[in-house]
Amino acid sequence: MSDTKPRTGAKVRAAAGTLAAMGLLGGLLTTAAHASEQGAAAPPIVGGQQAPIADHSWVVFLTDDQGNQFCGGTLGAADKVITAAHCVDGERPASVKVVAGREDKSSTEGVESSVTDIWVHPGYQDANTGSDVAVLTLDKRLTQTPLPVAMPEDTAAYEPGTMASVLGWGNTSEGGEASETLQKAQVPLTSDADCKKAYEQYDPKAMVCAGFPEGGVDSCQGDSGGPLVVDGKLVGIVSTGNGCARPGNPGIYTRTATYQPDIQAQLTAQR
């Protein structure tokens, strides 16, 4: 939910609220199992592996005015990036940059774009109440191929147990450090009933969960805004969750199919 380095008071407060709300629930469920994981090797995203950017040229990262990566995103059209509202809500376009085609953050490969407009879903309040989606307009059209967004009728892509890919440059363990290189992991989509058990705020229209019951593989802080992909379609946006890779605490993603009409309107909007 929180950025790698929150830059506004609003975001710091939102993050603290999430942690407070979820900590009570998650703490009881996961203390023992999580403690046993702390000593284990901390693989990337959490539990993923390095992924070639050439195979996923639609995945991008967002940097702040210091050049620090703070979120992920997905190219939805040549000059449009789909990300999480909580990544950019309240930000000025001038303080966000988008980096495409760069697998290793410390390299200069790929292309950096300025942001000329930030659209945040009008229903967005915080990640716990849904509508955690935003679309950025870039100052130029990129040559990278965009990723299609799942449609409302794409119900098969959301079948519980379906394996989905999640990608990002975020933390490789809960409370750990962000990855220098693009990471990718596979996680099964969770049923609405199982996600509701983990999260009281779960709204099956606005969200979808993914993760193994035993934990170990997940998105984490800094992956927010990035893609969850099934069958070559964007089915989710990394949004929130209780910690990272904890047993019984799947990651929560924005259910893009629900918002596809709104997203599509933004992808074709002239701004």
Provide the annotated active-site residues.
86, 132, 224
Nearest residue (CB) to ligand 4AZ, 53 versus 166? 166
Q: How far, in Å, are 81, 83, 151, 218 from residue 195 at the CA level? A: 28, 22, 22, 14
Residue 73 beta carbon to ligand 4AZ: minimum distance, rounded to whole angstroms: 13
Taking the least distance from each CB to ligand 4AZ, the nearer of 84 and 115 is 84
**Do 195 and 61 meet the contact criterion of CB atoms below 8 Å apart?**
no
Which helix (H) or strand (E) element contains residue 191? none
Cβ closest to ligand 4AZ, residue 134 vs residue 244 = 244
C-beta of 40: minimal distance to ligand 4AZ in Å?
Answer: 17
Could you give the CA distance from residue 219 to residue 166 in angstroms, rounded to a whole number? Answer: 7
Q: Which residues 6+ apart lie within 8 Å of 38 measured at CB?
A: none
Coil, helix or strand for 101? coil
Q: Look at the block and give the residue holding tokens 């990129």.
A: 142
Beta-bridge partner residues of 115:
138
Binding interface with ligand 4AZ (CB under 6 A): 1-2, 218-221, 223-224, 238, 240-241, 244, 251
80 residue type, one letter = K
Which residue is closest to ligand 4AZ by CB? 241
- Least Å distance between CB 223 and ligand 4AZ? 5
Please state the closest distance from residue 238 (CB atom) to ligand 4AZ, in A: 5
Q: What are phi and psi of 47, to 5 degrees?
A: 80, 20
Closest separation in Å from C-beta 140 to ligand 4AZ: 28
Smaller CB separation from ligand 4AZ, 146 or 226: 226
CB nearer to ligand 4AZ: pick between 110 and 250: 250
Distance CA 8, CA 137 (A): 22
**In the bound complex, what is the minimum distance in angstroms from residue 126's beta carbon to ligand 4AZ?**
12
- Looking at the Cβ atoms of 1 and 51, the one nearer to ligand 4AZ is 1
CA distance 271 to 266: 9
Which pair of structure tokens corresponds to residue 223?
């992956």
Residue with tokens 């967005």: 124
28: helix, coil or strand? Answer: helix
The two three-digit tokens of residue 170, written as one number = 């975020």
Neighbours of 74 (CB within 10 A): 24
Q: And the tokens for 234? A: 């964007």
